[in-house]
């Protein structure tokens, strides 16, 4: 059974005068398998948080339904299986992380022994031990993100819904979160996370969906979405004489110069290979030969094009 399914999920907010606005989420159809790491990509304002809040039953859709393991997200049964990390987690500032985890443990109906065990496990997993008894009030963004992640994991939910989990983290923090997500995947969890940071998604997601102005423009496995065709080939050479330089320039689609040497860009491998032959017969030096393939970033930008 699929971990997350949405059917025609639509959200239209109301203006201050009570009128329905254009959809912030427009008939979203998602099917996310158990144990997937799904990246939900889109620019600011695309509708990611709106969809996430509906999945976590914090917001009612205008139309459509969402299910977690077959149960409507509005039911207690569905909610019990979800752990949620909001975009900016909210805490009781005068509590400590240890007290916060204990508080959420109580909400989950855990007894004192289980709550102590939960704290020990989560403190270790998110490196909270050293700040366990400090007031949250004094915490940096990174510490808050870590505590927010720990709160999402209380009660060991099978589905984790994370809204921009890496936002505001430094590079070390980002890497730690990526590793944590992969570790949770290895524990058979399903992870759904919204992000506008392509690099984070590219490295850990099995599948992505791209949201543009409330509409899902594509979803699929990364290797299926990206054309792995070579987009261009960059050839860098040194010690070219003027006739060889002219010969390369006529074959190349563009050229430039840097400290590394003369850069030539070719539309395909055949043209780039012709260029290399010219380089060798002229006694010049080949410095670099780099086929450039489409990255998720290129793909993402391609999806943003078109009429609004």
Ligand X SMILES: Nc1ncnc2c1ncn2[C@@H]1O[C@H](COP(=O)(O)OP(=O)(O)O)[C@@H](O)[C@H]1O
* Residue 181 Cα distances to 48, 90, 254, angstroms: 19, 21, 42
CB of 4 vs ligand X, minimal distance in Å: 17
> CB under 8 Å to 78, separation ≥6 — which residues?
57, 67, 68, 69, 71, 72
22 or 172: whose CB is closer to ligand X?
22
User: Considering the rule CB under 5 A, would residue 195 count as an interface residue with Mg ion?
Assistant: no
Total site size for ligand X, rule CB under 6 A: 10
CB of 185 vs ligand X, minimal distance in Å: 23
x/- track of binding to ligand X for residues 22-41 (CB under 6 A): --x-----------------
Distance CA 122, CA 188 (A): 17
Distance CA 84, CA 57 (A): 11
Q: What is the Cβ-side half-sphere exposure of residue 242, based on CA atoms within 13 angstroms?
A: 0
Total site size for Mg ion, rule CB under 5 A: 2
> CB under 8 Å to 268, separation ≥6 — which residues?
230, 233
User: Considering the rule CB under 6 A, would residue 13 count as an interface residue with ligand X?
Assistant: yes
Binding-site partner at residue 42 among ligand X, Mg ion, none, CB < 5 to 8 Å by type: ligand X
CB of 44 vs ligand X, minimal distance in Å: 4
Q: Which of residues 76-105 bind Mg ion (CB under 5 A)?
A: none
Asked if 159 and 2 touch (Cβ cutoff 8 Å), the reply is: no
Of positions 6, 24, 49, 195, contacts Mg ion by CB under 5 A: 49
Q: Which of residues 40-79 bind ligand X (CB under 6 A)?
A: 42, 44-50
Asked if 162 and 192 touch (Cβ cutoff 8 Å), the reply is: yes
Footprint of Mg ion (CB under 5 A): 48-49
């Amino acid at each position: 059974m699929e971990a997350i399914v949405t059917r025609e999920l639509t959200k239209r907010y109301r203006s201050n005068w009570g009128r329905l606005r254009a959809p912030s989420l427009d008939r979203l159809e998602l099917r996310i398998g158990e144990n997937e790491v799904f990246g939900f990509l889109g620019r600011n304002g695309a509708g990611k948080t709106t969809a996430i809040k509906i999945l976590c039953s914090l917001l009612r859709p205008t139309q459509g339904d969402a299910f977690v393991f077959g149960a409507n997200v509005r039911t207690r049964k569905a909610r019990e299986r979800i752990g949620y990390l909001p975009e900016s987690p909210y805490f009781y500032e005068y509590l400590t992380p240890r007290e916060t985890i204990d508080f959420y443990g109580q909400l989950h109906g855990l007894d004192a022994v289980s709550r102590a065990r939960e704290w020990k496990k989560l403190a270790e997993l998110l490196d909270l031990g050293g700040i366990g008894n400090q007031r949250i009030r004094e915490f940096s963004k990174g510490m808050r993100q870590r505590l927010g992640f720990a709160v999402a994991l209380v009660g060991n939910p099978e589905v984790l819904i994370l809204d921009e989990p890496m936002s505001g983290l430094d590079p070390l923090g980002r890497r730690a979160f990526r590793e944590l997500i992969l570790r949770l995947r290895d524990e058979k969890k399903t992870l759904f996370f919204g992000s506008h940071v392509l690099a984070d998604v590219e490295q850990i997601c099995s599948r992505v969906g791209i949201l543009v102005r409330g509409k899902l423009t594509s979803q699929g496995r990364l290797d299926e979405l990206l054309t792995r065709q070579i987009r261009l080939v960059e050839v860098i050479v040194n010690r070219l004489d003027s006739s060889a330089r002219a010969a390369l320039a006529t074959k190349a689609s563009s050229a430039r110069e840097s400290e590394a040497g003369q850069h030539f860009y070719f539309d395909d491998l055949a043209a780039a290979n012709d260029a290399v032959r010219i380089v060798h017969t002229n006694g010049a030096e080949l410095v670099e030969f780099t086929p450039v393939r489409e990255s998720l970033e290129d793909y993402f930008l391609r999806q943003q094009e078109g009429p609004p």
